[in-house]
Amino acid sequence: MGSAEEVKPHLTMYVGGVPVGRLYVITPDMFWNKCRFEPLDAWESVRPLFEQHEEAAKQGFPIDKIAATKEILDRGVELHPSPPEAGPPFKPFMVYVDGETAKYRH
């Protein structure tokens, strides 16, 4: 048994170089990895973008709804494994966050 302070393996999500949340993989898959999402303090600065991105996805990415998706991609998203021995940081193809759940594809 680990100590109460031990942190479970996770991925820290960075947007534009700023850590915004932690992803705890629930269901690994070769296409989409389903995760539990835990926001960090900086999440509020990007939350509206991810909400708009999620809404655009639900609508099939109509051209008039993709500005948030473009901004997320322009800022850049990286996932950093923790502990670091789990692997190097990587850029996922896409990340979706909806409340306390997230999924990413790499």
Q: Model confidence over 15-58: pLDDT tens digits?
A: 999 999 999 999 888 889 999 999 999 999 999 999 999 999 99
The pLDDT of 61-78, averaged and rounded, is: 94
Hey, is 52 helix, strand or coil? Answer: helix
Taking alpha carbons only, the member of 3, 14, 30, 16 closest to residue 81 is 14
Give Cα separations from 2 to 5, 6, 8, 81 (angstroms). Answer: 8, 6, 10, 19
Helices (H), the chain: 43-58, 67-75
pLDDT at 6 exceeding the cut of 70: no
> What are the angstrom distances between the C-alpha of 83 and each of 10, 67, 78, 104?
8, 34, 15, 19
pLDDT band for 101, please (50, 70, 90 cuts).
Answer: very high
Q: Is the predicted pLDDT of residue 73 greater than 80, yes or no?
A: yes
Neighbours of 88 (CB within 10 A): 7
